[in-house]
Amino acid sequence: MRTPVLLPLTAAVLAAHAWLLWELPAWSSASANPDPTRNAPAFTTRSIAPPPAPPPPAPVAAPVPAPRPQARPRPAPVRAAPVPTELPAEAVETTPAEIPQETLAAAREQAAPPMPEPAPEPPVPAEPPAPTEPPPPPRAETLQGVQLVTPDGQPLPADTPLPVKLPAPTRLAFDVTGQAKRFEYHASAELLWQHDGQRYQVRQQIKAFLVGTRAQTSNGQVTDAGLVPQRFTDQSRSEKSAEFDFVAQQARFTPAAPPAPIGAGAQDRISVFLQLSAMLAAAPERYPEGAQITFTTVGSNDAERWTFRVHATETLELPLGALPALRLERLPRRAGDQQATLWLAPSLGYLPARIRLTQANGDFADLRLQAHAAP
């Protein structure tokens, strides 16, 4: 009884499958654009499978170090292209006017490559300068001799002869007024001038109560040019001295002090007054008012230039009485110089009739002639 039921069911199932297979090409993408050349419909099948497993992660590669820079290869030397001995026919038949300038320039560059620039020549070392002798040291002004300047400012040549006439030996007595450290005092002084025509000695001494005694002495030779000192001493509480060496052109001092350069005609601080007396007595007309006379003058520890300016003749009122005298004044060169003014009396052979010495601090000594006599 089951056979009759299964047969119709089987037939229905087969019919359904046949219909499905027949209608399947109409659902595919090929049915949208049928190919007339193809008579049989395409049949494809798909298999349903689980999705594949994800691939394992790729290993991380280690960083590759950067390649070291390689030295650039040195360019190969460029060799000049051989110059053909024969030119092609085209070049022979072509005139230079027909060849473009660019072509000619390119041909020249190919035929003769540029020559490398010549290497610079090494600098020639400069020759060291020839050794020169050092300049001589400046000449000390105290090496100069006696200098006379006229009233109009014109100096006479250094070799101009200045005649002298020594006064007769005399003893001069002075009254002294002065000031020392703001203390005024009265004293007596004596100037003893002696010579025998070959040697001389002059000594000045001042005695003051509560002030003490100060003596200055000059000894030396007498020449046609006047006095040439050899030794000068200055004595008060102690003694200082200067020795003259005209051969070595030096004055040396005791106590020790640097030697001072001296030249011909140098005097000390006592002999300078007697040298002026001798010059004016010999030729007073050569020393008019305004003239200047300069000596190198040596003290007890130094030497410097002393300049005296000649002034007019004045009449002095002295303890001795009225006496005409020519005034000479030392010109200070800098602050602190001792000022000295002296009056030379023509009636006494231009020996000093008055001497006034003033220090930078205001101290002074004024010597006024009281008497004179032969020594």
Q: What is the pLDDT of residues 306-348, one digit of tens each?
A: 999 999 999 999 999 999 999 999 998 888 888 999 999 999 9
**pLDDT tens, 120-142?**
666 665 666 666 666 655 678 99
Amino acid 36 reads P
Task: Tell whether 248 is covered by a domain.
Answer: yes
Dist. CA 131–CA 355, nearest whole Å: 56
User: What total of structural domains would you count in the chain?
Assistant: 1
CATH code of the domain covering residue 222: 2.50.20
pTM above 0.85, yes or no: no
Task: Tell whether 4 is covered by a domain.
Answer: no
**Residues 268 and 204 sit within 8 Å (Cβ to Cβ):** no
Max intra-chain CA distance, the chain: 208
Task: Tell whether 190 is covered by a domain.
Answer: yes
pLDDT over 70 (residue 25): no
Task: Tell whether 17 is covered by a domain.
Answer: no
Could you tell me the two tokens for 216? 């200055």
Residue, of 96 and 294, whose pLDDT is higher: 294
pLDDT over 50 (residue 91): no
Dist. CA 356–CA 329, nearest whole Å: 10
Task: Tell whether 272 is covered by a domain.
Answer: yes
Task: Tell whether 64 is covered by a domain.
Answer: no
pLDDT of residue 133: 65
In angstroms, what is the C-alpha Rg of the chain?
A: 65
Long-range contacts of 303-310 (CB under 8 A, 24+ apart): 303/142, 303/251, 303/260, 303/261, 303/262, 303/266, 304/142, 304/333, 305/141, 305/142, 305/144, 305/333, 306/272, 306/330, 306/340, 307/331, 307/333, 308/276
The helix or strand, by DSSP H or E, that contains position 366, with its residue range, turns out to be strand 364-373
| Domain that includes residue 335, residue range | 141-373
**Residues 219 and 240 sit within 8 Å (Cβ to Cβ):** no
Task: Tell whether 318 is covered by a domain.
Answer: yes
Task: Tell whether 39 is covered by a domain.
Answer: no
